[in-house]
Amino acid sequence: MRKEEAAPRIPVHVAIIMDGNGRWAKRRGLPRLKGHQEGAESVRAIIRACRNAGVKYLTLYAFSVENWVRPRAEIRGLMMLLKRFLSRQEYELHENKVRLRVIGRLADLPPEIQRELKRVMKATERYDAGQLILALSYGGRAELSDAVRRIARRVRDGEIEPGDVDEKAIAAHLYAPDVPDPDLMIRTSGELRISNFLLWQLSYSELYFTDVLWPDFREPQFREALAEYARRHRRFGDIE
């Protein structure tokens, strides 16, 4: 009698650095914004792929604190794409009971974008089938700095003692302390760095790098990343 094969391990939380939109456009002689537009289609495809695979949390590095130095026209275009994405994606969030969340310095975003994000977050906050987390005006160092400031205020106000500040206390003051750390971090476009993304949370994540540019990264490429993850053995400091 043939032994049944074990089901593949599926990460609970996948985080993605979506890189390569500009290069995708440049190689085709197109404006950079066209690359971002095509990248938005990849976002929608990967949201569906996560749902199909059983991934419960998806965090997307959508706009970093460093991205504010980009040309104003490009930033305006990105904010317009974000607003359009929210409008088009909201139906699927409701249909599939997926909660939208944002990590980062939300107050940095244009007021109309803030309002739309808050509206969709409020409308989906009770859903528990999965979570889509957008990192907007986000930086890992900024997140840790904000956490330290919140802790310092609590120490100043006598709510906690300095001796109480340990790893657990720091984690509790991050932007989304209830979200489990990513099991798998994916970066597209061939760059081999994490670029100030989830510096605290990626401590024991599996890292997967691919040369595929983000606009070309769809469900087949995502499944390749999941297959690679399933082949790895996570030890968390233990021995073989």
User: Catalytic residue positions?
Assistant: 19, 67
Beta pairing partners, 102: 134
Please list, in sequence order, all residues whose beta carbon lies within 8 angstroms of the beta carbon of residue 58, skipping any fewer than 6 positions away.
13, 14, 15, 16, 46, 47, 50, 130, 131, 132, 133
